[in-house]
Structure 1
Amino acid sequence: MAQRHPDPTHPAAGPVPAAALERHLRARATEFLRALRAHREAGAGAATGESAEAARALRRSARRLSAGLHTFQPLLDRDWAQALSPELAWVSGTLAVEHGCTARLERLLLALHRLSGAPVFPGQAATASGARTAPAVSAPAAVAGGSPAPAGPPPARPGADAPARTATTTTAAPPAVLTGADRGHLTVGAAKAGALLDRQLTLARTRAHSTALQALGSSRFHAVADQVAVLASEVPLAPGAAHADLRPPAAAARDRLTDAVAALPLVTAGSPYNAAALIHGLSPDPAPHPQDAPWHQVRLLLRLHRYAREVLHSGADGPTRAAAPAAVDAALRAAGEALDRHRDAAEAAAAAAQAARTPRIAPATAYALGVLHADQRHEVEAARYAFQRCWRTEDLGTS
C-alpha cells in the first residue's frame, strides 16, 4: 500500500537521533516502576483485578525495555545492556506463566464445550460478541458438576483477543461436526476431560503464582528494579553514540525477521490446513511439535521489529511522525495477532496431549482429549494460514 509520508525505517527517511532511544527507555522504565508500585499496593498475594492488571503492566513494560536494550545494544553501554536485558526478559517470562495457565484452561474448556455440543456459556457468548469478560460460569462446574475454579483474569495477550480468535474459528477452522457414536463418546468423556484439565492447569497456575511471588521478593528482582530506577533518570550510552542514527539497528531487526519468515513453510501454509503437520501432531512423541519452533521464533522477531518501529516513530520529526504509517502498523498488528493465536493454540494442544498421557484414564476421557488436541492443532494451522495472508498481501514495513 502506498504511503503518503516516508516510513522512519526506510532509507529515504531522515536519521533518528539517539535522544529518541533515551526518551523511550526512560518512559518504559517509569511505567515499570509505576506498575511495580501498583502491584504492591494491590497486594501481591491477592488474586484481584487490580493485582492482575498491575502484573500485566509490569510484564508489558519489562518486555519493551528488554526489547529496546536488545535491539539497540550497539548504541548502549555493552556490559550494562547485556546484563539487564535478559533479567528483564526473566521478569516478563516469570509473570507470564500464571496468566498463560489461566488463558489456556479457559480456551480448552470452551473448545471442549463447543466440540461436545454443550450449551454456550454466557462468557463464551460475550467473547463471540467481542466483550472482554470472564465466563460467568466456571467451565468445570458446568461440565462436571464440581465447584467453580478460581476465577482468573480474561486473556489479555496481544493477539489473543476474543474477536480475532472467534474470526479464525468461524472462517478457517474445520467444521468439527460429530454425529452418532462419536458424539456420544465425546459427550461422555468431556466431563472427565474438563475436570482433568481443570485440576492440572489450576495446579500449574497455583505453582506459577507462588513462583512469581517468590521472584518478586527475591534479591535478583530487587537488583533489576534498582537498575530500572537508575534507567528512569539516566540512560548509559556507548561512547560516541549521542549523535548516532537509530535506523541501522532497527533495520537489522527487520532483516532478521525477514530472513526468519523466508525460512517458514509459507507455501505449505498457503492452504488452510497442513496435513503433514497434523500427522506429526498425532504422534505419540511427547517432544514439542517439530514445526512450531520456527513460528514461535518469528513471533518474537516480529515483536522486536514492532517495538523498534515504536522507538523510531517516537523520534521521527515532522510529517513522518504525524503519519506513523497506520496501514503498516495495522498489518503488523494483524500478523502479530495471528502468531499469538498460533502460540496459544499450540500450547493448548500440548496441554491436551499431556492430559491424555495421564495414567489409568477412561477411554472416553482419552478420546475427548484426543479430539480436543486435534481441534487445537487445526487452530494452529488456521493461524499459520492467517499469518501467510497478512504477510503476502500487506506491506509490513520490511522492504
Structure 2
Amino acid sequence: MTVTEAAPGLAGRMSRVKESPSSRVADRVREFQAAGRKVLPLTIGEPDFDTPGPVKEAAIAAIRAGETKYTSANGTPALQAAIRDRLLRKTGQAYGPGEISVGGGAKQLIFLAFLATLDEGDEVIVPAPHWVSYPDMVTVNGGSPVLAAAGAETGYKLTARALRESITDRTKWLVLNTPNNPTGAVYGEAELEALAGVLRAHPRISVLCDEIYDEINFGTRPVPSLVTVAPDLRERIFLANGVSKAYAMTGWRIGYGAGSPELCAAISTLQSQSSSCPSSVSQAAAAAALNGGREFIDETVAVYRERRDLLVSGLDAVAGLRPLTPEGGFYVWTDASALSGARTPEGRVLETDADLAEYFLETAGVVVITGDSYGCPGHFRASFALDSATLAEAVTGIGRAVSLLRQRKS
C-alpha cells in the first residue's frame, strides 16, 4: 500500500473503548467448540424461547401489506401508540408523541441519549455492579463514568448516601438499571424515593432508567418505576425499554424510550443522520407484542422462576460460592471471593476473576462472565436463560471443579 493509499487512522476515542466482555467470552466458546469440546454457556443474554406466534404473524402481515419502506425516525404511529399505552399502564404517566423515541434496540437509544447530552468531562454516575456497556458508552461520548459501589451489604443497590457522595459539579446523569443486570436486584418504592430525595437537591442531574428486564419479575407486584414514584422528576428522566427480553425478540432490534421533548427530538435527529429509522417490519411486530396479552410473559416467567431456583440452590450448595437470589431478569450473581488464591490440581493459583472463569471452562466446560466485567471483582454472572438439564449439568460441573480446588487450597 502506497502512502496515498494508506488506510485512515482511527480516531482517538477508539483508544477509550474496550471490546465487550460478552464478545470475548463468545470467541472463547467458539474456540472450544471448534476443537470438539462440549461447552455449557451460562452467558446467554437473551431468552431461549421463540418469539410469540401472533407477533411473527403481524410481521408477515406487514410484509404482505407492503409495509417495507422508511418510517419516521421515531417510529410508526401504530408503534408510538402501543408504546404510549404500555407506558401509561406501567407508570401511570401519559406521554405524548414528542416524548417517545424508537430505535434499533434500547442499547442504541441509551448510546444516542449520551451522544446528545454529554460534553467533554461531564460525569455519569454508574452504580456497580453495572451492565458492561454503560461505562464505555459514556467514555466514547466524551463523558467520565463515576462508578458508585453498591455491594452485598445493600443488596447490590445504590443508596441515597452513596449517590450523594458521588455527585460533583460535573455530574450530568445517573444510570439506574432495575431489574439490574447482572444482579437481578429490584429497587423498591422506598429506595427509589430516597434516591429521588437526593436528586431533587440537584436539578441539573438527569436519570437514565434502564428498565429492559421489568417484565421478567419474580415479585408479587410490578417493578416500580422512578417516574411513578417521583413524577415531579419526569422531565429529567429518560426511560429506556424494549421488546427484546420480555417477548424473546432480541434479533428484531426494537427499543423505545420516553423522556423530555428536547431529548427525544435530539435522539431523532441523530438517528436520522445515522440509521434513518428502525426496521418497519420489526416495528409492526413490536406493536403487536405490546398490544397483546400477558400469556407469553406469564408463562415464560414461570419457567424462569423454576430455572432460577435450580441454579441458585445448586450454586449455594457449593462451598465458597454465595449466590444472590435475583428478583428479576434471568441471571444469578454469585460471590466467589472465597476462592481467590485457591490452587488448581496442577498447582496454578487462581488470582483473578479471569483465572477462575478459565478454570471453570477448562475443567467443567462451563462458561460464566467475570465480575470485574461489571465493575465488581470477586463475582461471576451465570444466566438461566437456557434449559434446566443444561443448568443442572453446569452446576454439577462447577461443584466438581470447586471441590478439586478445595483439596489443594493453601
- Would you call these one fold, judging by a TM-score over 0.5? no
* TM-score scaled by length of structure 1: 0.26
Larger RCO (CA under 8 A, 6+ residues apart): 1
* TM-score scaled by length of structure 2: 0.26
